[in-house]
Amino acid sequence: MIISFSGALGSGKSTIAQMLASKLKWPRYYIGGLRREAAKKQGLTLAEYNKLGETDIATDKEVDEYQSELGKIEDNFVIEGRTSWHFIPQSLKIYLDVSLEEGAKRIFANLQQKNNRNEDEGLNTWQDVLASNKARIASDKIRYRKYYGIDVYDPKNFDFYLDTTKLGPEEVFQAVYARVTEYLDNKKN
């Protein structure tokens, strides 16, 4: 079984994907991390890399081919990425949502603790993060619609949707784990 996570910026995808992979004792793949590293190698922030991707499919193609291949050769893992659900269609597709404001506040708090995410420049307030997130969402929508004809932010593409705006990590994890357990039980029967 493969479990793919996607969703809104700051919704808790990374936290919950890590918790779930740890609980299941499965590997976790983080596509956003691969994109951040690729951006860094080119001397770009993630925002700049995404902008480049609006005219150069190569910025997405490498990680998209990687996850597509991964879905063909491996099983029993958790993957987190905007397009993972699309490139691994047999996965249990989970979408975590959050309000734009709460997502920006969460990301800003995370940046205060460790600024190694290679985000946009000048993120000095949560409002700066909010503006950056809006630009990132717009870029994502342009790229993925142009290259693949998909909307990565449409909850209809997923098997399980959860709004995390008013929930803590443990509450989100419990809801996700209950859905995963239910799915595993149904597969056995």
**Domain containing residue 83: CATH number:** 3.40.50.300
> Residue 19 domain-assigned?
yes
Q: What is the pLDDT of residues 12-34, one digit of tens each?
A: 999 999 999 999 999 999 998 88
**How many domains in the chain?**
1
Q: What confidence tier does 112 reach under pLDDT thresholds 50, 70, 90?
A: confident
Please state which of the ranges 6-10, 37-41, 144-148 shows the lowest mean pLDDT.
37-41
Q: What confidence tier does 6 reach under pLDDT thresholds 50, 70, 90?
A: very high
Q: What is the pLDDT of residues 53-82, one digit of tens each?
A: 888 888 888 889 999 999 999 999 999 999
Whole-number Cα distances in Å, 111 to 37, 105, 114, 138: 17, 10, 5, 22
pLDDT of 167 > 90? The answer is yes
> Residue 88 domain-assigned?
yes
The three-state secondary structure class of 76 is: coil
> 102-126 as b/e, with b when 16 or more CB fall inside 10 Å?
bbbbbbbebbeeeeeebbbeebeeb
Over residues 99-123, mean pLDDT? 79
Over residues 122-144, mean pLDDT? 89
Domain carrying residue 51: 2-183
> Residue 188 domain-assigned?
no
Q: Go through the chain and tell me how many residues it has.
A: 189
Taking a C-beta distance cutoff of 8 angstroms, is the pair 168, 102 a contact?
no
How many CA within 13 A on the CB side of residue 138?
8
